Amino acid sequence: MLNGPKRQAFRALLVAHTNRYVDKVLGRSHTLVRAYMGEEEFLKMRKDIEDQTLANVEDIFGSLYAYTDEALQLETEIRTKMQALPPAEFEGVLHPVFQEDELKLILVGAVLGVIVGFIQTQFP
């Protein structure tokens, strides 16, 4: 989002929401504040808020990840759902994760099997 191909669209969305938030905070005093500050200073303030939001968005996201994880209790939810899966479906979920290393796992298992078999034949 921050550095990918859609970063400009994300930044535009973030600026739009930031401006809506500023308007919401000002509420009914919006016209009064705008008149007191003057149009140029008001727009400068709004631009400063946009710039600060964009400059600090990575820090904000870091906090949001932790908050979201805690608030939604994703780890607990995922664990509960995974434990409820029947074995065939559970294997279906995990298989793609290990698929690229499947050959390595099979070879390591074969080598360990040969070693254990050899040890068993030497020490009955």
For the stretch 9-58, pLDDT in tens is 988 998 999 999 999 999 999 899 999 999 999 999 999 999 998 888 87
CA 46 – CA 39 distance, rounded (Å): 11
Residue at 37 is within a domain = yes
Counting the structural domains of the chain, the total is 2
Q: Note down the domain range covering 14.
A: 1-59
45, with CB counted inside 10 A (0-12, 13-18, 19+), is middle
Residue with tokens 């050959």: 103
What is the arithmetic mean of pLDDT over 85-104?
84
CA 34 – CA 42 distance, rounded (Å): 6
Provide the mean pLDDT of the chain. 87
Residue at 67 is within a domain = no
Model confidence pTM above 0.75: no
